[in-house]
Structure 1
Amino acid sequence: MNIKKRCSKVGCNELIPTSKTYCKKHTNHNYKRYEKIRTSTEEGRTYKRFYDTKEWKSLRYQGFLRDGFCCVKCGREAEIADHIIPTKVRWDLRLDINNVQSLCFECHNKKTNEDKNRYSI
């Protein structure tokens, strides 16, 4: 039997395999546009290089393990390791495990908007 679940995007009722998180409609739909914006400046390239490092990937995995691969805000499956204090505010905390939390896409987007207002970034 092929077990299915609903897409994790709020309000979407599309059935998908249990190994996936989002349906095709809600998976990486803005990824190429976001990557172009993210790497078009020197600051963007610096961040891209950081997020590609072995140190970050290891710390990210440690954060997921610590949080049980669950979003610390809502308890759904975590997909993003988020810096509690953004790296644009405190670059020195980028590899501090106490500054990393596991979030789902929805909670990460809410937090990013809050950070933009709080830190004016």
Structure 2
Amino acid sequence: MPRTRRCRYPNCHAMVAFPDHYCQQHYEHEAEYLASRQRWARSNDRQYTHKYNTITRYRNEDKRQQYSFYRTRQWSHLRQQVLERDHYLCAYCKVQGIITPAKTVDHIVPIEFDEMLKADIDNLAVICSKCHRLKTGWEQATYGTGQDNELKNVKPINDVSSIVVLMNKG
């Protein structure tokens, strides 16, 4: 007799043969479920995280020092002040007239570009994940930040509304 289990769809009690997770009626959720399991496995894979930390995140002494700043008490206090100042709302979305809740605090001018601004509260803003992704791409193109890039000699832009305009162009 084949092994079976209950369908993963909420309140569905149909039995499903292994290796499937959903019955015929809810089978469209199978691919999404398998993808989420792969994401979870990758994020909890020690080899993957070790490679990320040693090769990407801490690739040189400068990056090691930059990331160690995020584990200090000073950073946690700054972060909390900025979150409360901005009411946990993305500053980049707010400029566009959109209200988006967020918990990430970002340096307006990246610390890789200007180390002196890392503890400046005026250089910090709350940012949502969508804007953070766009801004990171824009920073890499504009400032030359990121892995395998060379820092460019450009004037830093510290106005959120100007950055939003430039971010959305690219």
Question: Normalization by structure 1: what TM-score?
Answer: 0.70
Unpaired runs of at least 5, structure 1: 1-13, 15-22
The unaligned stretches of length 5 or more in structure 2 are: 1-31, 94-98, 146-170
Q: 1:25 to 1:83 in 2, by over 3 A?
A: farther
**Which of 62, 73, 77 matches 2:92?**
73
Give the alignment partner of residue 61 of structure 2, picking from 29, 32, 42: 42
In percent, how many aligned pairs have the same letter?
Answer: 32
CA shift, 1:26, in A, is 7.1
Per the alignment, in what secondary structure is the counterpart of residue 92 of structure 2? coil
Question: How big is the shift at 1:79?
Answer: 2.5
- Out of 122, 136, 142, the position equivalent to 1:118 is 142
Structure label with greater radius of gyration: 2
State the TM-score, normalizing by the size of structure 2: 0.51
Query: Relative to total residues, which structure has the larger helix share, 1 or 2?
Result: 2
- What is the rounded CA distance, in whole Å, between the counterparts of 1:41 and 1:64 in structure 2? 30
Distance change >3 Å, CA 88–CA 64, structure 1 → 2: same
CA distance in 1, matches of 2:74, 2:39: 29
Contact 1:79/1:105 (CA < 8 Å) preserved in 2?
A: no
Q: Is the 8 A contact 1:79 1:103 kept in 2?
A: yes
CA distance in 2, matches of 1:80, 1:69: 9
How many residues were matched structurally?
A: 99
Q: Does 1:108 align with 2:127?
A: no
> 2:69, 2:53 → 1: CA distance?
14
- In the alignment, what sits opposite 1:7? none
Q: Map 1:44-59 onto structure 2 (within 5 A).
A: 44-59=63-78
User: What amino acid does structure 1 have at the position aligned with 2:122?
Assistant: N
TM-fit CA distance, 1:57: 1.1
User: Partner of 1:92 in structure 2?
Assistant: 116
CA RMSD of aligned residues (A): 2.4
AA at the equivalent of 2:87: G
Higher relative contact order by CA 8 Å / sep ≥ 6: 1 or 2? 1
